[in-house]
Amino acid sequence: MGLLDGKVAVVTGAGNGIGRGVALGLAHAGARVVVNDFGVTVDGRDPSSAAAQAVVKEIEALGGEAIGNAESVATMAGGQSIVDAALARFGDLHIVVCCAGILRERMIFNMTEEEWDAVVAVHLKGHFTVMRPATRHMREKRRGRIVTFTSTAGLEGSPGQPNYSAAKEGVVGLTRSTALAMARYGVTVNCISPSAETRMTERLPDGRRAQAAAPPEAVAPVVTFLASDRAAHVTGQVIHVRGHQVSLWSHPAPLRAITSREGWTPEALAEVYDQALGQDRLRRLDALGIPWPPKAE
């Protein structure tokens, strides 16, 4: 008996890397899988159905059942058609995993509107376009599992990826919101932050690539667990996966607070700010070797 026997899953961005590993992992656990991939390059160009179909063949070679889908998650019609494909072929939908993504790196002062829009459309809107029709079905059935994908670039920031960082932090907000909305219907929504070697990390500097050095297949077991009935009590969580290590990240919460009886003036706040509130230091400043505060010239 597999952990996901009888389940139907949709995996977006399943033609390569982490998505491919997730689709294979779900199929190995017994799920029937819609393998979605627009089949584009890392920067979102030259679509093809070849990547999705190749993973379908891998699943079938292992004795599993899958269909390919090459629709783009960046459109509402594309997201709807992915969910419709699962319902038309397999008659149900229990699991949605959103792995689709592209990159258009640029510092914020050089980024174009098109570079911003393209990345936000695939990562953030691309979650919504699939989750909206999926949650409608899951609400009616009163069960379901949704696994979203963020990144440490979203959780901690990335100086050369403002579009990607914003979209990935947005995915965390979408995850928490949907977890709250769907809890009464027995649907769980959790978020994975992966570190793994993929087509995306090949573009990173050597130091950042070393941090991501872990096989993409290592993420699949965590997703499979979250997609199973064994994780019916887990929702609204951000879970980081790097190789054999699985970490639970905290939710934002107030660190310190100060109150003025008369109300604050800028001058009064300036007098006490550093001692009373201080800063929750950006961890990536240290990781990137950026001195802060800057030295006076």
CA–CA separation, 172 vs 28, rounded Å?
A: 28
Q: Which of 7, 72, 168, 195 is catalytic?
A: 168
Q: Which of 72, 81, 151, 195 is catalytic?
A: 151
Q: Which of 81, 164, 195, 228 is catalytic?
A: 164
Q: Kindly state the DSSP code that residue 255 receives in the 8-state scheme.
A: -
**273 in active site:** no
**151 in active site:** yes
Alpha-helical segments (H) within 95-248: 113-120, 126-141, 152-155, 162-182, 206-211, 220-227
Residue 235: closest CA among 188, 296, 291, 295? 188
Pairing status of strand 245-249 against strand 238-242: antiparallel
**164 in active site:** yes
User: Do 31 and 7 meet the contact criterion of CB atoms below 8 Å apart?
Assistant: yes
Count H helices, E strands: the chain? 11, 8
* Cα separation values, 261 from 258, 265, 268, 272, Å: 10, 12, 12, 14
- The residues that are catalytic are 151, 164, 168
